[in-house]
Structure formats: C-alpha cells, structure tokens
Structure 1
C-alpha cells in the first residue's frame, strides 16, 4: 500500500450519510466493491466507518446534522488521492464506470432505499497540517 501518512500532496474527499440499520450488511458488500472501483481510478485508499459514539455535549452531532431516525446508522468515509487532479479525474470517471451502475441500482431502489444521496454531506479537502 502506498504511504499516505504525512503527505502534503494528498487530497481527500470526505462524506457522511445515514443508512437504515437493516441494510448494514448489504451496504458493506457494495461499499467494498465501490472501494475497489475508486482505487482502480487512482485512489490511494478508501475508508468507511460506522458511527459508534456520535454525540459530544456542546457541539452539533452527526446524527443531529443528518436528522437520523431511530432505525438508522451514520456512515463516515473518506477517499485519499495522490493529488486534486487525480481526484478530479476519478470523480469524472467513476460514475461512468460500467461496474457502478450495477452497484448503485440496489442502493437507490425506491422500494428498498439503502442510500439517499440528498442526505449525504460531502466535501473535498486539501492538506492543512
């Protein structure tokens, strides 16, 4: 695995979104495949974590920001790229990758909505320290 620590050249896309608890295992299978597609398009690493401790007194929580329901969990993830240019190209090419269509379809099925993109918080980040 490439060394991604302490690199001021890296660029990161970060995201947070809720999913229904009942679909965690289904989503995990899809996310593992999506990670491989991002890596095939230049990502150095792809991470997704499930929320555990999401509140801290005095600050706005992820659950509050995302307006999660009792039957939902929060997914937090980020994708590491060697540069913003590689990230921009990947963001253009990944949605067009034919493997994505088969993976995304079950996520957005209205009868069994696993992932609602309108509730996702996303951003690209350049190095600070």
Structure 2
C-alpha cells in the first residue's frame, strides 16, 4: 500500500526563495531514498478559523506563510527505511539549515484510504486536516469516496484522503493539537489537486452548494468545526 509523509510548516514570508532552494535540494535526497513524488505548496487562500486553523496549528507569526506538502512512497517499508537512512545520509548536510523553525513543523505518516483521479501536473492544492472518531473509520472512508467524484467532476485532478498510521506527538506542536483531537480520534491528512486556482474557485461554489444537500444522506462522520483547510499554490513538485 502507498504511504504518505505529510507536513505543515510556517515559513517566514521573506524566506520564500530560500525555502524553495532548500526544498529543491531536498528533492534529490528524498528521491535517492525512494520517494516517488514530493510536493510543496505555498499558502494562498488560507482562512483564519474560529476554533482551529492552519496558523494556530504551527503557531505561525504575522510575518510567516503556511506551507502544506507531502512525500509519497511506494509503501510504509520504503518510507521507514528512508527515514532511517536520512539520519545518516551525507546529502542531508549538503542541503544546509532549514530556513524556518523546524520545532513548529508538524508531520506524520498516513495511509491513503481514498485516492481518486488520474492526477497530472497540479498548480493548486486544497489541503485539509481533521480528527475522526476512530470507530468511524469505515464511515469516513465511505463518506470521502462518495464526495470525491464531485471534485473530479468540477475539474479536480486527484482527491486523496490519508488516515494516520505513524503520527508522533510533538513537544511544541503536532497534528493532534492542530485539530484538538481527542483520545478516541484519529487524524486525517487530505488534499484535492487542481490545475490552477481559477478552476478550483469556479468549482468550489457548485461543490459546496451540492454538498449541503448531499450531507443529508451522507453526513460528515466527524466534527467539521475542528477541521482546518486552505488553498495553496504548488511551488515545488517532483516525480521519481
């Protein structure tokens, strides 16, 4: 089964080019260690929330921008081996220091439980993180599988829902605190890939209107008020 390493980071906005240079250098290391795809997307339409949001998830400051990204592997074994090798890979030293506060980056491993769409060169990403009662896993998968075609019909390239499989607790921030997850809940990390923001904006209104009706027969099996979401421009994408 494919495996995803998802992450959310707060980057000083002034360091955008430094971050991009760092990300491009990191791509070579990740690919050498088995990554099949790496994506970094820069915050573009990330709203402030009432209960939770991406900013609070990583304790972002006023002069920082949210980055949403992920690394795809063929399976968890490949990812685990890559993580172990990364600690001793000389290529990591060549990348240099991270141009952001790594202590506030949240990350973890997820298994894709829904993956629909042919994919393609994405220019824009809608990212989501939330918490689902663990007992509702099958309901979550069923709900997501029914909703995904709505996005694809409106021009989305791919819809992926990731279920937490290896998400660590952090000292400063983590995915659990990001969505105020409770002890009996599991975190999900999901995204919708679009060709560009214009396509996403045009389809979003239609999708949300239809989902209001759709939800009566297929309600969200989790607390949507604690889900965090936002739109991001893809600034770095690499395939193996």
Distance 2:113 2:48 in 1: 24
Distance 2:3 2:111 in 1: 5
Which residues of structure 2 form unaligned runs of 5+?
A: 115-240
How far apart are 1:95 and its partner, in Å?
2.8
How far apart are 1:59 and its partner, in Å?
5.4
Structure 1 SS opposite 2:6: strand
TM-score by length of 1: 0.81
2:79 is the counterpart of 1:87: yes
Distance 2:41 2:51 in 1: 20
Alignment of 1:23-42 (within 5 A): 23-42=15-34
How far apart are 1:104 and its partner, in Å?
3.1
2:101 alignment partner, one of 96, 116, 124: 116
How far apart are 1:56 and its partner, in Å?
6.2
Aligned residues: 114
**TM-superposition CA deviations, 1:58-86 (whole Å, max 9, x none):** 55210122221111011111000000000
Distance 1:56 1:69 in 2: 13
Native 8 Å contact 2:48 2:55 kept in 1: no
* Higher radius of gyration, 1 or 2: 2
State the 4+ residue runs in structure 1 displaced beyond 4 angstroms. Answer: 56-59
Native 8 Å contact 2:33 2:85 kept in 1: yes
CA-based RMSD: 1.5
Identify the residue that residue 128 of structure 1 maps to in structure 2. Answer: 113
Which residues of structure 1 form unaligned runs of 5+?
A: 1-8, 108-113
How far apart are 1:99 and its partner, in Å?
1.6
How far apart are 1:119 and its partner, in Å?
0.2
Alignment of 1:3-22 (within 5 A): 9-22=1-14
Between structures 1 and 2, the one with greater strand share:
2
1:73 alignment partner, one of 62, 65, 72: 65
Structure 1 SS opposite 2:77: helix
1:44 alignment partner, one of 24, 36, 43: 36
Native 8 Å contact 2:10 2:58 kept in 1: yes
Structure 1 SS opposite 2:56: helix
